[in-house]
Amino acid sequence: MNDHLYFCHGRGEIISPLEAFNFMRKFHYVFFLLAIFESVNAQTNVSLFTGRNEGEHIFETGNKYANLSGIRGGSRITYPRNFNYLGLELSRISNKFLLSGKVSSTGGYVQAGEARDEDFFLRANSTESGTKIATREWSFHDSAYVFTGTQNFADGKGRSVVSEYKFEPTVRYYAGDASPDLWKSSNGFFFSFGLKYSYFKYYIYDVIQFVATNPITYSPIGKGLSYSNAVVEIPFGFGYKVSKDKLTLELSFDLLWGIDKFRDLHYWRALNFKGYSGGPGFQYKADFFYKALEDTIVKFSHSGHRLFQTGNFTTSGGNSFSDVLSNYAGKYSHYLNTKEVAFELSVIRNISQTK
């Protein structure tokens, strides 16, 4: 976005939907699970839902110790995750198993909030909290930010739009007296395993940039950057279901591991980033069900999602000497963290013959 970022990525290509689909095909084995759920007494449900997402997706890179240029500093780009979406979910119940497939999308580019691109100095007392989930100390640092105690020397803010689609197949097994059938009252634990694939792309525009030059630069620069990301996550966990009369509550918690491939282009600098990331995370969810009619249930959901990743990126292009020089400096390390919550309202319909 601004003209003073140290590092950037790739060749500037944008991940196309076809490329994203080919990336997803590596996980086609999931669909073979459908055969397991073909049963005479199976139940099929269909759900339409609308949701609201709130949060942030943050890219950071930097060094607390002086590099070859003698500078201790870094860069941070904050992508807002504030948007509405629509979706469809199909589920199949057979005995103790529930197989569901969930698809959601923004339906095109929608406003996502204010994006920010910062370049900063790092001081001796600046902190780098790269480890969010520390298993040795049994600690958790719930923040999408890594570097704190920084001083910006360049700061760009602009409007952003995002287009996103997501696919989530999940398998659940209900243990003991618990049943996956929402039309039957039951209490007990369930265990889940799934796959979550999402692809999203941002455009940042109407950027106003500050740079600590002499005199200070503060001016509009127009287009900032474009950013696309394909993410695969594998969640596994457990939950508990409790029912009373027409009401049902399901609480669940999943640990997950995610990998992603991203590309972005900084228009002002003609500089591109290309990188890969991987790391742990978790998600939690509370589902409230109300049996409105004999074959219709209304559901309200609240969920939280965290993904803390590290990886490497390379750069290409650039219109300054330092940017072009970065193309030959190998790989740079980075952090890519996501912190978000979502709220959904669903209408579930039993479309099978058996209730």
Over the stretch 46-62, which tens digit does the pLDDT of each residue have?
Answer: 999 999 999 999 999 98
Q: Where are the alpha helices (DSSP H) in the chain?
A: 17-24, 321-326
DSSP element (H, E) containing 244: strand 225-244
| Mean pLDDT score across all residues of the chain | 85
Lowest average pLDDT, out of 98-102, 303-307, 324-328, goes to 324-328
Q: Virtual CA dihedral for 175, 251, 233, 57, nearest 10 degrees?
A: -170
Would you place residue 66 in the very low, low, confident or very high pLDDT band (cuts 50, 70, 90)? low
At residue 188's C-alpha, the angle toward residues 236 and 88, to 5°, is 55
Give the pLDDT of residue 67. 60
% of residues, the chain, pLDDT over 90? 57
Query: Among 220, 150, 198, which Cα is nearest to 307's?
Result: 198
Span 150-166, mean pLDDT? Answer: 93
Which residues lie across from 170 on neighbouring strands?
Answer: 100, 194
Q: Are 336 and 32 in contact (CB under 8 A)?
A: no
Which residues have a Cβ under 8 Å from the Cβ of 145 and sit 6 or more positions away?
A: 58, 60, 76, 129, 337
Q: Would the pLDDT of 10 be above 60?
A: no
Query: Among 282, 259, 267, which Cα is nearest to 336's?
Result: 259
Q: Would the pLDDT of 162 be above 90?
A: yes
DSSP element (H, E) containing 220: strand 217-222
In angstroms, the CA 344 to CA 323 distance is 44
Q: Would the pLDDT of 99 be above 70?
A: yes
Give the pLDDT of residue 267. 87
Would you place residue 38 in the very low, low, confident or very high pLDDT band (cuts 50, 70, 90)? low
In angstroms, the CA 51 to CA 302 distance is 10
**Which amino acid is residue 17, in one-letter code?**
P
Q: Would the pLDDT of 15 be above 60?
A: no
User: Cα-atom radius of gyration of the chain, to the nearest Å?
Assistant: 23
If one counts every other C-beta atom within 10 angstroms of the C-beta of residue 246, the result is: 11
> Tell me: the pLDDT tens digits for 260-281?
999 988 888 878 889 999 999 9
Would you place residue 7 in the very low, low, confident or very high pLDDT band (cuts 50, 70, 90)? very low
Give the pLDDT of residue 147. 86
Q: Are 278 and 239 in contact (CB under 8 A)?
A: no
> Tell me: the pLDDT tens digits for 101-128?
999 999 999 999 999 999 888 887 888 8
In angstroms, the CA 264 to CA 10 distance is 7
Q: Would the pLDDT of 3 be above 50?
A: no
